[in-house]
Amino acid sequence: MVAARTIKMNPKGIIELLKSAEVQRDLEDRGTRIHAALPTDKGAEWRLSSFMGHDRAQVVVGTGNAASRRKQAEDNDLIRALDRGR
């Protein structure tokens, strides 16, 4: 029989990792690939932004104008482009 093991979480270490330059760079690369996969027809503009949040690095890819919001509503382009970020 295997002895029970206890895992002790280190919250400060986890936050430090999530704020690291390596994680931020990886997220920006993923966001760039997703952004590049989005169609630009019909005047659609997509926005890409990255920032350091309270406890982690964050990247957002979203609609940039009314044409891209309409295209997202009709064709679900953001969801289709997500595979490029994996």
Q: How many CB atoms lie within 10 A of CB 57?
A: 19
Q: What is the pLDDT of residues 21-77, one digit of tens each?
A: 999 999 999 999 999 999 988 899 999 999 999 999 999 999 999 999 999 999 999
pLDDT of amino acid 3: 84
Q: Of 44, 52, 48, whose CA–CA distance to 74 is shortest? A: 44
Determine the Cα–Cα distance for residues 32 and 65; give it in Å rounded to an integer: 18
**Amino acid occupying residue 46:** W
Output DSSP code: residue 10.
-
- Helix ranges (H only) for the chain are 11-18, 21-37, 66-75, 77-81
End-to-end CA distance of the chain: 38
More confidently predicted of 77 and 1:
77
Look at the block and give the residue holding tokens 């999530």: 18
